[in-house]
Structure 1
Amino acid sequence: MNTYESFVHIRRDLHKIPEIGYQEFKTQTYLLNYIHSLPSDRLEVEKWRTGIFVKVKGTHPTKIIGYRADIDGLPISEETTLSFQSMHDGYMHACGHDFHMSIALGILTTIVNDPIKEDVLFMFQPAEEGPGGAEQMIQTETFQKWKPDYIIGLHIAPEYPVGTIATKEGLLFANTSELFIDLVGKGGHAAFPHNTNDMVVAACSLVSQLQSIVSRNVNPLDSAVITIGKITGGTVQNIIAERARLEGTIRTLSVESMKKVKQRIEALVEGVSIGYACQTKINYGSMYHQVNNHGEMTREFMNFVEEQTDVNLIECSEAMTGEDFGYMIKDIPGFMFWLGVDSEFGLHHAKLSPNEDAIGVAIELISQYMRWKSE
């Protein structure tokens, strides 16, 4: 039997019960049931909302190593042919958080059964996909009481083969912000447009203007993305729309660019308000801080992987992906890396199907690293 087969089964169990942010009740119960099945003499467990803190006492601790796994799913209807498909209609673990949880439980089990010198704090964090749980979780009394000296996290990467990880010093993931813009004008009969203020026309004009921000207001040597992924407006074909709503995302590689992009969005929205005689409202929703890997610690980890493991290391480029793990390493040294899972379909896709062999790779790698870090 594969040493890590039980954690593959755990992944499949978790895959069946995806839940969105702060609604991970079944997920929390499943995780707690497993954690409470482990020897408890060196474990301290505390719940926070739908998340969990688990502290494992080391043999001669001088530091606390932090490890974070996110636990929420996405509002996506699964289209895989897996025998363990989601049982929750309209929801799926389409970002690999089922992998993240099973890997964390595998590392936890390894550390409990074969103690290391240092204490280890496992954080099962809710709401990574939204509205964002990391920033709130690190503000809790429990986190401050068990505050790690450094923190580790991983994210599955469909584009890399199993047995490969990818990371880099410095910026790994972008600053991200949701974007919601509401426009309210004056509706009316389609035959009398001169008596109305058409918000479909206003919304279309605004979308075109927003696309000019990156090309004309962001330094070409920097990077930014503004994507409008959803537009709603109107009721039927012969009524001029009184309301319209744009929903999108902003991504930048620097905090300064994020500020500038938002200033330009606000200026353009104000212009639409005047030009189309309508009321406007902007909501930035969830905002995630960039994942900026700690240089020295990341290089140390990369050297460890190259010199003491069979895992293939790739020094990758930064990505426009968002991850609220950035809040956890904003003031505490730490790093995140991509874990190769070799899937034809990418993150947030209804057919994402990662290779489960990667679970054992990650459990073994991180367990070995924590032990090495404790020596």
Structure 2
Amino acid sequence: MNPFVKIRRDLHQIPELGFQEYKTQAYLLAYIHSLPQERVAIKKWKTGLFVKVSGLNSKKTIGYRTDIDGLPITEETGLPFSSQHSEQMHACGHDFHMSIALGVLTFFVENPIDDDLLFIFQPAEEGPGGAEPMLRTEEMREWMPDMILALHIAPEYPVGTIAVKEGLLFANTSELFIDLKGKGGHAAYPHQTNDMVIAACQLVNQLQTIVSRNVNPLDSAVITIGKITGGTVQNIIAEKARLEGTIRTLSPESMKKVKHRIEAIVKGIEAGFECEAVIDYGSMYHQVYNSEELTREFINFIKEADAVQFVECKEAMTGEDFGYMLKEIPGFMFWLGVDSPYGLHHAKLTPSEEAIDVAVRVITKYIALKGNQS
């Protein structure tokens, strides 16, 4: 068995939520410490890692980032190496991402190039967000890369496919939580209450008008309310209700406009239903915007590479906090085809493990090319 497939299976069994990746960090450290250490330097940050591989004649530092956290999902794959952690799963491919990163790291420890490399094992990508705080660390400032790249598995593409585009790749995203508080009471006396179930229903309907009536039709935005909770039992009018959702936009300006409209509508609900409302935007991720020059160069490299197929993809409404790193460091993210019948964040996601070797080969060749340029 390919050693990095085994690593993927080991990691798949121990998914952990954001900033709780203690077993994952220990596993990564144990493996990295098993490699020759002459050129390796390791610094821990919370549950993440910075791993520097010194070059032979460094003139720059090339960064490679992988995320390491799992999702609060109960796995339904039936795999013999399924998650051992209750209600937690690597349902977004971060086990793949880590095993690929270790494969690339191993190659360059054993085959050093001129330039320095920085491998970033980032926690909490799924939330509350690890990229932005990692950028602010002393470790990052000391080892700041001159360029950076990352990948994300893509279930919809066959193995051997690399999909990428210049410019905008992933949307601006924000969580959305709205808590409503009115006046509860007996179901037989609605006139003595302020019913927050009714208020929540009205609010959901009004929120759906924002995209259709406040966002330019040539732009794109999404407001999804994925969860509503309210009330206690069937014969008590609800004093409280909570809406949980997400916002996605293709520009930072549209995100500001959407939030402005949400706040205006919520104020109207407060006045109309004589209630109190609190808005919390939770985790917010900056758009993933690929550097044009570096991405174009990578596309040309992929077009000439053996055993891989280039696809120019469209931008997606998915979110990725790697966008914060690309905001400050030139670089790009690309999709790696893994040919799964089930999509990201699905309890039955089963990516093809053949994609691990494809990714390691492509990335090592690309980084070696970049890292040995004069």
Partners of 2:73 and 2:310 in 1: CA distance: 32
* Unaligned stretches of 5+ residues in structure 2: none
Q: 1:287 is matched with which residue: 284, 288, 299?
A: 284
Q: Residue by residue, what CA displacement relative to the aligned partner does 1:292-331 show, whole Å, maximum 9, x if unpaired?
A: 0000000000001111333101000000000000000102
- Report if the CA contact (8 A) 1:173-1:323 is conserved: yes
Counterpart position of 2:143: 146
Does the 8 Å contact 1:309/1:365 carry over to 2? no
Amino acid at match of 2:156: E
The match for 1:64 among 49, 61, 65 is 61
Counterpart in the other structure of 1:335: 332
* Alpha-carbon distance between aligned partners in 1 of 2:131 and 2:335, rounded to the nearest angstrom: 19
Letter in 1 for 2:213: R
- Residue 364 in 1 paired to residue 371 in 2? no
Q: Deviations over 1:266-298 (max 9, x none)?
A: 000000000000000000000000000000000
Aligned residues: 372
Which of 126, 131, 149 does residue 128 from structure 2 map onto?
131
Counterpart code for 2:131: A
Q: Aligned equivalents of 2:242 and 2:71: distance in 1?
A: 22
TM-score by length of structure 2 reads: 0.99
Out of 21, 32, 46, the residue aligned to residue 49 of structure 1 is: 46
Separation of aligned partners in 1, 2:181 and 2:269: 11
Deviation at 1:150, TM superposition (A): 0.3
- CA–CA distance in structure 2, aligned partners of residues 76 and 174 of structure 1: 23
CA contact (8 A) 1:43 1:54 kept: yes
Q: Which residue is 1:109 aligned to?
A: 106
Where 1:45 maps in the other structure, the secondary structure is: strand
Equivalent residue, structure 2, for 1:241: 238
The amino acid of 1:345's aligned partner reads Y
Whether 2:260 is the aligned partner of 1:251: answer no
Determine helix, strand or coil for the equivalent of 2:229. strand
Query: Is the partner of 2:328 in helix, strand or coil?
Result: coil
Tell whether the 8 Å contact from 2:156 to 2:338 is kept in structure 1 after alignment.
yes
Pair 1:75 & 2:72 matched: yes
1:38 pairs with 29, 35, 39, which one?
A: 35
Post-superposition offset of 1:234: 0.2
1-structure distance, mates of 2:5, 2:272: 57
* Equivalent in the alignment of 2:342: 345
> Which SS does the other structure have where 1:329 is aligned?
helix
Alpha-carbon deviation of 1:146?
Answer: 0.3
Are 2:162 and 2:302, in contact at CA under 8 Å, matched by a contact in 1?
no
> How far is the alpha carbon of 1:177 from its aligned partner?
0.1
Query: Shift of residue 374 of structure 1?
Result: 1.8
Distance 1:310 1:30 in 2: 31
| 1-structure distance, mates of 2:31, 2:328 | 31
Q: Deviations over 1:334-356 (max 9, x none)?
A: 00000000000000000000000
Q: Give the partner amino acid of 2:90.
A: H
Within 1, Cα distance between the matches of 2:306 and 2:50?
Answer: 29
Structure 1-normalised TM-score? 0.99
* Residues in 2 aligned to 1:306 and 1:81: alpha-carbon distance in whole angstroms: 37
1:116 to partner: Cα distance: 1.1
Identity of aligned residues (%): 72
Secondary structure of 1:317's partner?
coil
Give every structure 1 segment of 4 or more consecutive aligned residues whose post-TM-superposition deviation is greater than 6 Å.
none
Correspondences of 1:156-167 after superposition (within 5 Å): 156-167=153-164
Contact 2:8-2:96 at 8 Å conserved across structures: yes
Q: One-letter code of the match for 1:45? A: I
